[in-house]
Amino acid sequence: GNSVTQMEGPVTLSEEAFLTINCTYTATGYPSLFWYVQYPGEGLQLLLKATKADDKGSNKGFEATYRKETTSFHLEKGSVQVSDSAVYFCALSDRGTQGGSEKLVFGKGTKLTVNP
Amino acid sequence: GAVVSQHPSWVICKSGTSVKIECRSLDFQATTMFWYRQFPKQSLMLMATSNEGSKATYEQGVEKDKFLINHASLTLSTLTVTSAHPEDSSFYICSATHRGLTYEQYFGPGTRLTVT
């Protein structure tokens, strides 16, 4: 079955440090890939997405590139801020049949703490 | 746009009682809603998928008689935990897909259920 593996945390960085959270996937077909962020006490929010190979999703300074050859979708940010402290989830969604609804398969999440 | 709400945000109930959680899409029509369960420091686990006007599809291992899902309209789905026990204590999250958009889910803020 489809699965997502992401690096285990927690990850602790100082402000302005470079961030990488690794994510690899196993899937049949051509999934869309997502990063979700969950801030303390809140629900998941879509951070960025990529729907096909070599697409780069970006938002709020975060980036991730859909690498089909390495089945990866690593999340990066050049300079993190304290406000980026949250749990980050990598996920995939199969395109399925036309008009059909999708199931999201999530990784276990990586907790990021950014210290001033 | 694409806001999903859940009510209540947290609930405490006694063992043996039932509790209902509502999930609403506030500004769009949701063709499909999903219910997830999240354990501490774990990923989201899909419990069931519900389409408006039809029976929910439950994931393997989820007791459909215990977790009753009703998707009565294009903007409302409910999850009822029947005869709750302490092991049902968890964070329950719903998401919804937007008619006309593909393969994206918008998440509610979640409901914290504590069974005493």
> Can you list the residues of chain B whose pLDDT is less than 50?
102
Whether B68 contacts B82, CB under 8 Å: yes
Q: B41 in contact with A at a CB cutoff of 8 Å? A: yes
- For the segment A61-77, the average pLDDT, to the nearest whole number, is 97
Q: B39 in contact with A at a CB cutoff of 8 Å? A: no
Distance between CA B48 and CA B37 in Å, rounded? 10
pLDDT at A102: 63
DSSP summary character for residue A4: E
Contact A43 B105 (CB under 8 A): no
pLDDT at A87: 93
The most confident of A72-76, A105-109, B43-47, by mean pLDDT: A72-76
A43–chain B nearest CA distance, Å: 4
Contact A89 B43 (CB under 8 A): yes
Token representation of residue B116: 């005493």
